[in-house]
Amino acid sequence: MKNRVFGAVALCAIAGSSMGAIRTINFDQDANGNGIADLTEINNQYSAWGVTFSPNAFVGGSWATNTGMHATSTDVGAGYDPSLGNILHAFDTDWLNEDGDPSFLMSFTTGITSFQMDVIGDTGGIDGFETFAAFYDASFNFLGSVSCNGIGGIETIGASGFGTAYYVAIAPGEYLDWVGIDNIVFEEVPAPGAFALLGLGGLVAGRRRR
């Protein structure tokens, strides 16, 4: 009996370790815990987590060629709540200077299996174009997307079950609709060692039963 219990506990403990790391990007601190100053341009502040940001994920048509990438708690638009601290996408510095619909790309060195973010100020714009996030695999094949409902204020959207994404393209509103982004939460693919340990745990549990 004692052996059976030990085997079950070992298996549960190892199975729990197979979850990937869950990260939160809030634009208040970088990946190393250093504060991000107001109106800092966001690019590689989260590279320690294997995440980088770049502007203009989409090109051509009505897409902007100069998407703003500043984190701010002062240069904000309608729907912002001070409790959010820094958000991505300034009002005057970014939105009013853009020449089209903004978009930016998040690139991940480790694949992710779930994604969530807060959307601030999206009202659907003049033509109903709403904020969305699109997921792509390592070869830039489209995996799926999620969009907000344009309710204004703060709206949380997210998705999982899309497979393993290495790129997330985000379109924060449209040319006529200021939108900020905050609290990006994602789960990384578990390290290969976690799956190996899970198999080993099952083997050990089986041997204890004999």
Q: In this prediction, what percent of the chain has a pLDDT beyond 70?
A: 82
Q: Which of the following CATH numbers is that of domain 20-189: 2.60.120, 2.40.128, 2.30.30, 3.30.70?
A: 2.60.120
Going by C-alpha positions, the residue among 188, 146, 184 that lies closest to residue 164 is 188
How far the first Cα of the chain sits from its last, in Å, is: 11
Tokens 């699109």 found at = 134
pLDDT of the residue at 15: 39
pLDDT over 90 (residue 100): yes
pLDDT of the residue at 146: 97
pLDDT of the residue at 201: 38
pLDDT of the residue at 9: 31
Mean pLDDT on 88-99: 98
User: How does pLDDT run across 64-83, given as a tens digit for each residue?
Assistant: 999 999 999 999 999 999 99
Mean pLDDT score across all residues of the chain = 86
User: How does pLDDT run across 4-60, given as a tens digit for each residue?
Assistant: 322 333 323 333 446 899 999 999 999 999 999 999 999 999 999 999 999 999 999
Domain boundaries, the chain: 1-19+191-210, 20-189
User: How does pLDDT run across 158-185, given as a tens digit for each residue?
Assistant: 999 999 999 999 999 989 889 999 999 9
pLDDT of the residue at 11: 29
Tokens 């174009």 found at = 129
Distance CA 102, CA 96 (A): 11
Q: Of 125 and 34, which is predicted with more confidence?
A: 34
For the chain, give percent helix, strand, coil, nearest 5: 20, 35, 45
User: How does pLDDT run across 143-160, given as a tens digit for each residue?
Assistant: 999 999 988 999 999 999
Q: Of 42 and 198, which is predicted with more confidence?
A: 42
Which residues touch 196 (CB under 8 Å, ≥6 apart)? none
pLDDT of the residue at 193: 56
